[in-house]
């Protein structure tokens, strides 16, 4: 099977074919640096980190650009409130951003441009749009003319006429006077006299939000890129407007594939500041949640689906990760032969030659892992492969409790070691980093039997309805919490706890 992504542009799962062979150019919309990052950011950037690692593992050279929006209304308001400059506020929050992302083992992008450092490119870009007559200035503001761009709405599937009616009602009075069309959006905004501002051909002001991404993509990656990433809340208007600006200016398709991650729900409700269920990454990790537990938790759900965040689910993820971490620790703890030579660098995952030496079972698991990931990054499927792969290692660890490692047959040792290496490599593709200091978990005997029975019932129902995808998902979910299913004749399913 070939690599496939669900492309928001076509609303279909499509084969991925890069513009240049062996190279992938990715742009990801970054944060507005007025505050600490929250769970929504963690979810999004963890998913895209895995995308990047997987592409690297498959042999692509990946260029990954992600911006910082360091000037906008939120930043100006927050800086005023805190009595500091917008630069000071941005600088501080950029530092905090790096701390959070490093803690979660999210690889740093190839480059991270900032809006205030790209003003020259932004202004040039707007001037080009003016020359092409798709932008106009009005009282110190500059707007993009939406009706001059024939494909406006192609990403979000919105019809422009309906949008104009809706937007007209929301316009403020002064905007009504300066915009020709209610859907037109600002490329450059005139500043109030006391606000931070930058000089431009249209007077003092600052860039609109959408234009910075178009200008940065062009500057850092060129006119056309392979993949554009972001949260699904950015599809409209942000990404729609990026497409309009870039394609009107360059006359080329901005991005071939648009991937969007789902939102985070907390206790069944959308996470938002107004609902008071807003969790920062910092506060979550302070509560004894390990960064890898959070990563493991996020990867249990497909990136496009909403992610339901509950204490219970997090606890289950923590157990799942402990079990996996135990097996990942194995090679380090026992310092088995050649281990130093084969030091695993999870930040540069590569398919290695030793994979040719794998036994049939392991080879099948390796290829199943890739199949899952090729299928629009099915990370929960990929995790279930890690658990299968860890079974023989687990058994071997118990076996070593009774025997000295020097008494073990060399061939058997090599075999387990190869499996451990494969496990470590594949965990690395998901960015799951072994934690050697984690305490040995106590016996995980407190499984919730009612919940397991219920999930088994749901799986039988799914099978009866021929929804095999759901049935497989439930099996994988159970495996993640340490439960193995045995299908017996007449539709009876038994379960057993996977041995520790």
The answer to whether residues 249 and 128 touch, using CB atoms and an 8 Å cutoff, is yes
Nearest by Cα to 55 from 291, 281, 373: 373
213: contact with Zn ion by CB under 5 A: yes
29: contact with Zn ion by CB under 5 A: yes
Which range of residues in 77-85, 211-219, 269-277, 442-450 is near Zn ion by CB under 5 A? 211-219
SS3 178: helix
Which range of residues in 40-48, 206-214, 355-363, 399-407 is near Zn ion by CB under 5 A? 206-214
What distance in Å separates the CA atoms of residue 84 and residue 428, rounded to the nearest whole number?
Answer: 41
**Largest alpha-carbon pair distance within the chain?**
86
33: contact with Zn ion by CB under 5 A: no
Instruction: Tell me how far CA of residue 417 lies from CA of 336, 340, 490, 499, in angstroms.
Output: 7, 13, 40, 19
Taking the complex as a whole, the smallest distance from the CB of residue 195 to Zn ion amounts, in Å, to 22
The answer to whether residues 33 and 404 touch, using CB atoms and an 8 Å cutoff, is no
Enumerate the β-bridge partners of residue 213.
Answer: none
Taking the complex as a whole, the smallest distance from the CB of residue 230 to Zn ion amounts, in Å, to 6
What distance in Å separates the CA atoms of residue 135 and residue 125, rounded to the nearest whole number?
Answer: 11
Q: Which residues, 6 or more positions from 493, have their beta carbon under 8 angstroms from its beta carbon?
A: 456, 459, 460, 485, 486, 487
| Closer of 213 and 225 to Zn ion (Cβ) | 213
Which range of residues in 25-33, 82-90, 336-344, 484-492 is near Zn ion by CB under 5 A? 25-33
Nearest by Cα to 167 from 159, 233, 149: 159
What distance in Å separates the CA atoms of residue 60 and residue 110, rounded to the nearest whole number?
Answer: 14
What distance in Å separates the CA atoms of residue 449 and residue 453, rounded to the nearest whole number?
Answer: 6
Taking the complex as a whole, the smallest distance from the CB of residue 154 to Zn ion amounts, in Å, to 17
Give the dihedral sign, CA 88/94/100/105: negative
Taking the complex as a whole, the smallest distance from the CB of residue 112 to Zn ion amounts, in Å, to 13
**Interface size with Zn ion, residues (CB under 5 A):** 2
Taking the complex as a whole, the smallest distance from the CB of residue 495 to Zn ion amounts, in Å, to 46
The answer to whether residues 181 and 146 touch, using CB atoms and an 8 Å cutoff, is yes
Please list every residue from 432 through 451 that binds Zn ion, using CB under 5 A: none
| Closer of 255 and 328 to Zn ion (Cβ) | 255
Taking the complex as a whole, the smallest distance from the CB of residue 124 to Zn ion amounts, in Å, to 18
Query: How many residues are recorded in the chain?
Result: 500
Interaction mask 369-398, Zn ion, x per CB under 5 A: ------------------------------
Taking the complex as a whole, the smallest distance from the CB of residue 496 to Zn ion amounts, in Å, to 49
Taking the complex as a whole, the smallest distance from the CB of residue 184 to Zn ion amounts, in Å, to 19
Instruction: Tell me how far CA of residue 45 lies from CA of 100, 104, 262, in angstroms.
Output: 11, 10, 12
What distance in Å separates the CA atoms of residue 286 and residue 236, rounded to the nearest whole number?
Answer: 34
| Closer of 213 and 281 to Zn ion (Cβ) | 213
Taking the complex as a whole, the smallest distance from the CB of residue 213 to Zn ion amounts, in Å, to 3
Give the dihedral sign, CA 314/315/318/323: negative
Tell me which residue has tokens 């969007």: 260
What distance in Å separates the CA atoms of residue 358 and residue 487, rounded to the nearest whole number?
Answer: 28
| Closer of 216 and 430 to Zn ion (Cβ) | 216
Which range of residues in 28-36, 343-351, 411-419, 474-482 is near Zn ion by CB under 5 A? 28-36
Taking the complex as a whole, the smallest distance from the CB of residue 302 to Zn ion amounts, in Å, to 23
SS3 439: coil
Q: What are phi and psi for residue 299, nearest 5 degrees?
A: -75, -10
| Closer of 216 and 393 to Zn ion (Cβ) | 216
| Closer of 49 and 425 to Zn ion (Cβ) | 49
Which range of residues in 169-177, 213-221, 313-321, 348-356 is near Zn ion by CB under 5 A? 213-221
Which range of residues in 21-29, 162-170, 183-191, 322-330 is near Zn ion by CB under 5 A? 21-29
Taking the complex as a whole, the smallest distance from the CB of residue 438 to Zn ion amounts, in Å, to 37
Per-residue tokens: 179: 């915009």
229: contact with Zn ion by CB under 5 A: no
| Closer of 29 and 167 to Zn ion (Cβ) | 29
65: contact with Zn ion by CB under 5 A: no
Compute the CA torsion angle 161, 231, 462, 474 (nearest 10 deg).
180
Count other C-beta atoms under 10 Å from residue 339's C-beta.
Answer: 15
Which range of residues in 72-80, 171-179, 210-218, 399-407 is near Zn ion by CB under 5 A? 210-218
Which range of residues in 23-31, 187-195, 262-270, 324-332 is near Zn ion by CB under 5 A? 23-31
| Closer of 213 and 432 to Zn ion (Cβ) | 213
Taking the complex as a whole, the smallest distance from the CB of residue 238 to Zn ion amounts, in Å, to 6
| Closer of 70 and 375 to Zn ion (Cβ) | 70
- Determine how β-strand 307-309 pairs with β-strand 483-487: unpaired
Tell me which residue has tokens 């496009």: 304
Taking the complex as a whole, the smallest distance from the CB of residue 117 to Zn ion amounts, in Å, to 16
| Closer of 29 and 382 to Zn ion (Cβ) | 29
State the residues that interact with Zn ion by CB under 5 A.
Answer: 29, 213
């Amino acid at each position: 099977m070939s690599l496939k992504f669900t492309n928001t542009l076509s609303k279909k799962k499509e084969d991925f074919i890069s513009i240049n062979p062996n190279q992938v150019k990715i742009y990801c919309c970054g944060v507005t640096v007025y505050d600490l990052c929250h769970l929504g950011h963690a979810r999004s950037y963890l998913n895209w980190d895995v995308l990047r690692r997987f592409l690297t593992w498959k042999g692509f050279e990946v260029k990954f650009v992600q911006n910082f929006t360091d000037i906008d209304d939120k930043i100006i308001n927050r800086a005023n409130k805190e009595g500091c400059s917008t630069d000071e506020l941005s600088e501080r929050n950029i530092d905090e951003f790096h701390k959070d992302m490093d803690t979660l083992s999210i690889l740093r992008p190839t480059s991270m441009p900032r809006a205030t450092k790209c003003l020259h490119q932004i202004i040039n870009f707007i001037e080009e749009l003016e020359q092409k007559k798709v932008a106009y200035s009005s009282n110190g503001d500059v707007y993009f003319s939406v009706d001059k761009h024939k494909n406006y709405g192609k990403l979000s599937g919105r019809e422009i006429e309906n949008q104009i009616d809706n937007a007209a009602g929301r316009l403020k009075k002064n905007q009504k006077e300066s915009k020709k069309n209610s859907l037109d959006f600002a490329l450059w905004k005139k500043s109030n006299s006391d606000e931070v501002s930058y000089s431009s051909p249209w007077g003092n002001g600052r860039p609109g939000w959408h234009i910075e991404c178009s200008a940065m993509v062009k500057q850092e990656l060129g006119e056309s890129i392979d993949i554009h990433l972001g949260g699904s809340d950015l599809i409209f208007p942000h990404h729609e407007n990026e497409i309009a600006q870039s394609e009107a200016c360059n006359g080329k398709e901005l991005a071939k594939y648009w991937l969007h991650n789902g939102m985070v729900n907390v206790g069944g409700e959308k996470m938002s500041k107004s609902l008071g269920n807003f969790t920062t990454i910092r506060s979550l990790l302070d509560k004894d949640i390990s960064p890898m537990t959070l990563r493991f938790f996020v990867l249990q759900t497909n990136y496009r689906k909403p992610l339901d965040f509950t204490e219970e689910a997090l606890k289950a993820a923590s157990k799942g990760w402990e079990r996996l971490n135990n097996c990942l620790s194995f090679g380090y703890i026992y310092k088995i032969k050649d281990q130093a030579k084969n030091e695993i660098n999870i930040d540069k995952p590569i398919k290695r030659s030793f994979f040719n030496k794998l036994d049939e079972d392991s080879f099948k698991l390796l290829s199943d892992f890739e199949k899952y990931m090729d299928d629009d990054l099915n990370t929960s499927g990929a995790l279930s492969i890690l658990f299968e792969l860890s079974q023989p290692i687990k058994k071997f660890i118990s076996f070593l409790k009774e025997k000295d490692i020097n008494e073990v047959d060399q061939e058997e040792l090599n075999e387990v070691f190869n499996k451990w290496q494969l496990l470590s490599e594949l965990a690395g593709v998901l960015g799951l980093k072994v934690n050697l200091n984690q305490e040995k978990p106590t016996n995980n005997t407190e499984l919730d039997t009612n919940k397991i029975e219920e999930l088994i019932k749901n799986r039988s129902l799914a099978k009866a309805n021929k929804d095999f995808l759901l049935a497989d998902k439930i099996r994988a979910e159970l495996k993640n919490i340490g439960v193995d299913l045995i299908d017996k004749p007449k539709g009876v399913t038994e379960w057993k706890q996977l041995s520790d």
